[in-house]
């Protein structure tokens, strides 16, 4: 579902058709020909498949979409109508790269006549943290980070939340405030409409999720709320990504309050999201999630 809900909103396939028409009129013949070969319905299906696989619990399954995403991204960047989706997809490419890396590292399962029940091929939480730390090592700041980090760290501090959490925006949007997911999350911190309104943001006539300070304030307030509920920063990040209810149910089902005890049962996206957050913070700030101070009571 797209974030906008007014009657003038185009569907993603309609936007793609608009890009194709524009390309035919404005681009070199060879480029326009390549764009015209994109099937809008196939792109829409890609987003559906991406969401379904990211909500499944096997990280390796996500790798199958990597090549399609690489093909889609360049022409999503062609026109303003689809650039918010391009910004979002660009921030997701690291997940696809990591899923492919994990796929290549996992030996193929045996293929007996009577195969055993499907088992998870996900690496254990500590191993995945190590993979992400290597992935992020030496990586330069995203282009938009310098414009926002200094401005937004005091916003987090004002909410009594560790200012290092400003780097969540690198994972969510690569510090591109135009980013919009097909599910309707938007802005630097990819807030869903209901969450934005819950923490005081206005969506109309101007959507404050696309404004740096209001979106950071709402995200910081949400982080603080989640910490008061879960008392663990890894669980906070998991809940920010997968939803509070999902985390609470898994903790109750497995009779634990530890992230590592439920990590393998989380959606694939969340299994990668939490260690990715931690790896980015290690690279930018030299801090692990478990080392961050709790908000004052």
Nearest C-alpha neighbor of 159 from the set 228, 99, 98, 216 = 216
267 within 8 A of 146, measured Cβ to Cβ: no
- Residues shown for the chain: 297
Angle CA(189)–CA(194)–CA(198) in degrees, nearest 5?
85
| 290 labelled catalytic | no
Q: Nearest 10 degrees: CA dihedral of 194, 196, 198, 200?
A: -150
Nearest C-alpha neighbor of 295 from the set 237, 220, 197, 184 = 220
d(CA 14, CA 16): 5
Structure tokens at 180: 């919009």
Catalytic: which of 128, 136, 172, 269? 172
DSSP string over 177-226: TT-B-TTS-BTTTTB-HHHHHHTT---SSS-GGGSHHHHHHHHHHHHHHH
Catalytic residues: 172
């Amino acid at each position: 579902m797209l974030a906008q809900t007014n009657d003038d909103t185009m569907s993603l396939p309609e936007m793609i058709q608009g890009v194709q028409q524009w390309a035919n009129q404005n681009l070199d013949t060879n480029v326009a020909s390549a764009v015209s070969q994109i099937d809008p319905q196939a792109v829409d299906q890609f987003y559906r498949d991406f969401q379904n696989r990211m909500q499944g619990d096997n990280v390796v399954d996500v790798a199958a979409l990597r090549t399609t995403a690489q093909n889609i991204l360049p022409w999503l960047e062609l026109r303003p109508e689809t650039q918010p989706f391009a910004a979002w997809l660009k921030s997701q490419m690291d997940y696809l790269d990591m899923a492919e890396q994990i796929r290549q590292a996992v030996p193929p399962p045996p293929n007996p006549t009577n195969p055993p029940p499907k088992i998870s091929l996900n690496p254990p939480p500590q191993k995945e943290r190590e993979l992400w730390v290597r992935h992020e090592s030496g990586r330069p700041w995203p282009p938009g980070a310098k414009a926002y980090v200094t401005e937004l760290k005091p916003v987090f501090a004002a909410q009594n939340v560790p200012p290092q959490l400003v780097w969540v925006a690198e994972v969510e949007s690569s510090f591109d405030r135009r980013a919009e997911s097909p599910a309707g999350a938007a802005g630097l911190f990819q807030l869903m409409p209901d969450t934005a309104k819950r923490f005081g943001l206005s969506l109309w006539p101007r959507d404050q999720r696309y404004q740096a300070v209001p979106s950071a304030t709402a995200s910081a307030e949400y982080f603080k709320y989640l910490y008061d509920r879960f008392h663990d920063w890894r669980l906070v990040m998991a809940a920010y990504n997968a939803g509070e209810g999902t985390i609470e149910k898994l903790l109750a089902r497995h009779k634990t309050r530890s992230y590592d005890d439920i990590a393998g049962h989380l959606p694939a996206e969340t299994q990668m999201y939490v260690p990715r957050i931690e790896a980015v913070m290690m690279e930018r700030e030299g801090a692990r999630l478990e080392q961050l101070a709790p908000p004052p009571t």
